[in-house]
Copies of this chain bind each other. A is one copy, B any other.
Amino acid sequence: MASTTKAKSATAEEIAEQLSDAVHEHRLKPGAKLREDEVSDVFGVSRTVVRQALRAMAFEGLLTIEKNRGAFVSKPTLKEAHEVFQARALLEPSTARAAAERTTPDDIALLERHIAEEHDALDRGQPGRALKLSGDFHLEIARIADQQTIEQFLKQLISRSSLVIALYWRQRSALCESNAHHALVDALRNHDGATAEELMKGHLLDIYSQLDLREHDEGSTSLKEALRRS
């Protein structure tokens, strides 16, 4: 599963982060199962630590743990997909406004480096990594706003957004959001809170509108799962 069989002896946080990255970059796709002793082999720790990591990820919404069955990468429903972006629409614009009033030159430099990395990843044909960086960009804004609580929620929402994108993204349109991020940085640099708020609102709507939200059959697995839950 992972690129290289990694080093031994890791903490639960490190395991969770590496697995989270894999999910964010769509190397682990929704529905994939994570067996405990498989993960424990890869990371060279006991199942005890692995279970900590998996449960932590479940709490963030990345995994869904079914009792006696195991941990699976979550498959957000259409309803959950809507809810995620509704919640983001409530939290992020105000946060962007607050961030604009506190942005320092260092922050600007960091954000611009971030965008550059994002472009770089796209050029190298690593869309998964670009997507993860794009999510981190949004997180960075919450950090600048110095709102740890909201940042924490946003982390979960962005994680779930990544799953939503994996499931419902329209293939035809490439991710053209880099421009939106650049405009946001401009607003932040100018301490223009109102514009930052509006840009963020529009940016979220833009992503939202690029999702395919129609009801559709989910392939063979959904039938089995539907029966299981009967």
Contacts and interface: CB of A to CB of B under 8 A. Distances in A.
B52 A83 contact: no
Contacts of A94: 90
Most interface-central of A94, A147, A149, A150 (chain B CB within 10 A): A149
Contact of A150 (B87, B150, B160): B87
A87 B87 CA distance: 11
A168 interface: no
Q: Specify how many copies of this chain sit in the oligomer.
A: 2
Contacts of A38: none
Contact of A86 (B79, B83, B147): B147
Contacts of A91: 87, 90-91
Interface in A137-171: 147-150, 153, 157, 160
Contact of A83 (B56, B79, B149): B149
Most interface-central of A84, A86, A157, A160 (chain B CB within 10 A): A86
Contact of A147 (B83, B149, B153): B83
A114 interface: no
Contacts of A80: 148-149
A33 interface: no
A157 B153 CA distance: 10
Nearest to A81: B149
A55 interface: yes
Interface string A81-123: 0011011001100100000000000000000000000000000
A83 B94 CA distance: 13
Nearest to A160: B149
B87 A149 contact: yes
Interface string A39-59: 000000000000010011001
A84 B52 contact: no
Interface of A: 52, 55-56, 59, 79-80, 83-84, 86-87, 90-91, 94, 147-150, 153, 157, 160
Give the 8 A-B CB pairs with smallest separation, nearest first.
Answer: A83-B149, A59-B59, A87-B149, A153-B153, A90-B90, A87-B150, A90-B94, A90-B91
